[in-house]
Amino acid sequence: MNMVDKGVSIRAGSVDMTHGGGGRAMAELIADLFQRHLGNPILAQGNDGALLEPQNGRLVMSTDGHVISPLFFPGGDIGSLSVHGTLNDVAMTGARPLYLTAGFILEEGFPLADLERIVMSMARAAKEAGVPIVTGDTKVVEKGKGDGVFITTTGLGVVPDGVHVSVECAKPGQAVLLSGSIGDHGVAILSKRESLEFETEIRSDSAALHGMVAAMVEAVPGIAVLRDPTRGGLAATLNEIARTANVGMMLDEAMIPMKPDVAAACELLGLDPLYVANEGKLVCLCDAGDADVLLEVMRAHPLGGDAARIGTVIDDDVNLIQMKTGFGGTRVVDWLAGEQLPRIC
Amino acid sequence: MKYVDEFRAGDLAEKLARQIASEASADRTYHFMEFCGGHTHAIFRYGVQDLMPENVHFVHGPGCPVCVLPVRRLDDAVELAEKHGAILCSYGDMMRVPGTKQRSLIKAKADGADIRMVYSTLDALKIARDNPDRQVVFFAIGFETTTPPTAVAIKQAEAEGLENFSVFCNHVLTPPAIGHILDSDDFAPGGPAKIDGFLGPSHVSAVIGSKPYEAAAEKYQKPVVIAGFEPLDVMQSVLMLIRQVNEGRAEVENEYTRVVTREGNRKAQALTGEVLELRESFEWRGLGSVPHSALRIRDAYAFFDAEKRFTVSEKQSRETKSCECPAILRGVKKPTDCKLFGTVCTPENPMGSCMVSSEGACAAYWTYGRFRDPARQKADAA
């Protein structure tokens, strides 16, 4: 088989059970598609496990399964998202991500051309982030038992000395910072959902945040908490922090950045943007005195141009997130009950 | 966002709050029922109660469409999907409402029933077109706002010859419910519930107009102000109600003039009338049997009536024991008066319908309002 044939078979072919069977078809899929696009010296070792160099510092590990529908959306696809999502989870400990792994569950009948598009997108995202995918796995399930493709990625990183970013560091009096506008990812996904398609300029904010995090921890090593408000949106993330750290928060609605298109789409669909997912934003809790320095660092980064101080951590036994509304009243920003948007990340 | 921000402006709210405080008479209380869940939601979402003087109270009414649907009808819908193998299309809010033994559409779906959340009747028609060998039932619920789209869907299905499509019709009407509430013993002089006036429905009134409330305002001597769903609409309407009460008037006034006329949307009314007709009586969760309060599909369109196409079994449908939804829907009790509120009944695990929809009084109270409980209760007691 020459290279031209391989190209044709990927363009016209689809996943079948032999691609997960451990035979030649599987080996070819790995060589022609995964290694070809994701290739790096560690992946090329060809061992069952990737041998990694020793690291100085505390290691951080995080894993994330991606089951998004639709697979391709404005501003990204499941491939880039699976890289960004895990890099961000690693970065939210203040760490510098070093390596990624990727596990694919493919559904029988899934077009190989789509798979290639996804793998190329992963390769691009990993390259931009400077973090290689060093080992992986592929399984095939029968038609009807998957949804095209599911991707699980795991990330490994190392935390710089002197940095201790952790949710229990949240304390009353700290400032709550947000790196940019909320709801972009969720609205972009919704706009492409079957039965709900609508025209919008909004693109997913899917992006790797570790570059901005590195600049932030360098400027203020004492950052208390970092979180990326993905599933369940800003509201879920702040509630998780409040409950774990046994604090409350008071937010100022007017300070929370939101794009007019996102606000309009949410208004139309009856959604509260506070609960809509983001994939390229972070929440930061820090000492009030460090807030301005951090905001400056965030705003100087391409992913943090709209960064804002949106509230303050307060003492509260029942861990409520309250918000001064733009209207002049106060409301509780509670946990999301059930699912507002099914399966968006 | 243009045409929305204008109705949520904090500076105007402050001015209106001052006006309300200066006109509300200090030697009396005002209890206004907001009939619609949309108003309940706005009051909590924007913290409107914070801007009211302490003697102005909102009484949350029964206008949450999913809250008033009786358990029996929900059980029937589940049966359509489970026993008759139909694809059941439902508005999202309905998915989590508990039926008998806490069984909701979402639980039935998890057990294998083909239940799909739709945003409009158009989605349900598309599903019927895409699945010609399956029966597709649209679970039609709601007040006069959602009624015209159901009528249009039935006409559309007939025009296309969509023989696998039918509608399980549960549409209910607002004016009979208001009359029924005011007729009940709860609101008799000396009864447990007080209402000095109504914030009238906004979207419902866009369809039916403001005229249908005039009889009730006259008969029961209660002012009605048709109010938009934005928070400034609510505040302006409260001010108009206070003025009516202070002046001893009981009229239907229209604050929501940018949308509502006295006659309403005649085209929508005509369409609805062509396809749907009054039921003799219909069971409401909380209100019991209310005469002439709901719609069914006319004989001319009986082919698309799921109640005629399928035979549902007799069943013993039951509300959750000690759930106070019925009394809360009538405005007689507050969510916090219910023993289940916040203990076994939460939005994650709703026991009653009022805890499900974001328009339900209990869910709104839990999500947006409970933190101010102690302060408010103190004020109420004083």
Q: Please confirm whether the linkage preceding B53 is cis (ω < 30° from 0).
A: no
| A6: confidence class by pLDDT, cuts 50, 70, 90 | low
Domains and CATH numbers, chain B: 5-63+183-254 (3.40.50.11750), 71-173+264-309 (3.40.50.11740), 325-372 (no CATH)
Percent of chain B with pLDDT over 90: 62
| B378: confidence class by pLDDT, cuts 50, 70, 90 | very low
CA pseudo-torsion sign B372, B193, B327, B94: negative
Pairing of strands A175-178, A225-227: unpaired
Best to test chain B binding among A331, A333, A336 (most B CBs inside 10 Å): A331
Give pLDDT, residue A4. 42
The total of other beta-carbon atoms located within 10 Å of residue A65's CB is 14
User: Which among A325, A330, A334 has the least Cβ separation from residue B367?
Assistant: A334
Q: Which residues of B87-103 are buried (b: 16+ CB within 10 A; e: fewer)?
A: bbbbbbbbbbbbbbeeb
Token match 């398609």: residue?
Answer: A197
Q: What is the mean pLDDT of residues A288-304?
A: 98
**CA–CA distance, B88 with B124 (Å, rounded to integer):** 9
Task: State yes or no: pLDDT of A76 exceeds 70.
Answer: yes
Nearest Cα neighbor of A214 from A94, A62, A58 is A94
Q: Which residue has the higher pLDDT, B379 or B230?
A: B230
Cβ–Cβ under 8 Å, residues B104 and B77: no
Q: pLDDT tens, B272-326?
A: 999 999 999 999 887 889 999 999 999 999 999 999 999 988 877 777 778 888 8
Question: How do the domains of chain A map onto residue ranges?
Answer: 7-159, 167-332
Give pLDDT, residue A20. 84
- Residue in chain A nearest B230 by alpha carbon: A327
Q: Lowest-pLDDT range, A63-77, A124-138, A201-215, B173-187?
A: B173-187
For residue B313 the two structure tokens come to: 């079994």
State how far Cα A222 lies from the chain centre: 24
ipTM, interface predicted TM-score of the complex = 0.78
| A341: confidence class by pLDDT, cuts 50, 70, 90 | very low
Which CATH number, 3.30.1330.10, 3.30.70.270, 3.40.47.10, 3.30.420.140, labels domain A7-159? Answer: 3.30.1330.10
Cβ pair A269:B367 closer than 8 A: no
Cβ pair B367:A332 closer than 8 A: yes
**CA–CA distance, A50 with A52 (Å, rounded to integer):** 6
Task: State yes or no: pLDDT of A110 exceeds 60.
Answer: yes
Give pLDDT, residue A337. 65
**CA–CA distance, B1 with B4 (Å, rounded to integer):** 6
Nearest Cα neighbor of A250 from A185, A176, A188, A184 is A176
Cβ–Cβ under 8 Å, residues A187 and A265: yes
**Total beta-carbon pairs less than 8 A apart between chain A and chain B:** 72
Which chain A residues have any C-beta within 8 angstroms of a chain B C-beta? Answer: 195-196, 260, 263-264, 267, 269, 318, 320, 322, 325-332, 334-335, 337-338
Task: State yes or no: pLDDT of A339 exceeds 70.
Answer: no
- Residue in chain B nearest A248 by alpha carbon: B371
Q: pLDDT tens, B150-166?
A: 999 999 999 999 999 99
| B377: confidence class by pLDDT, cuts 50, 70, 90 | very low
Task: State yes or no: pLDDT of B234 exceeds 90.
Answer: yes
**CA–CA distance, B243 with B94 (Å, rounded to integer):** 38
Q: pLDDT tens, B192-203?
A: 778 999 999 999
Q: In the Cβ-directed half-sphere of B334, how many Cα atoms lie within 13 Å?
A: 15
Nearest Cα neighbor of B55 from B21, B83, B91, B9 is B21
Give pLDDT, residue B45. 86
Distances from the Cα of B101 to the Cα of B71, B98, B317, B321, B346, angstroms: 10, 8, 9, 10, 16
Q: pLDDT tens, B27-86?
A: 999 999 998 888 988 898 898 989 999 999 998 888 888 888 988 999 999 999 999 999
Is A167-332 in the same CATH topology as A7-159? no
Cβ–Cβ under 8 Å, residues A304 and A283: no
Q: Which residues in chain B have their CB less than 8 angstroms from residue A340's CB?
A: none
What kind of fold does domain A167-332 have according to CATH?
Phosphoribosyl-aminoimidazole Synthetase; Chain A, domain 2 (3.90.650)
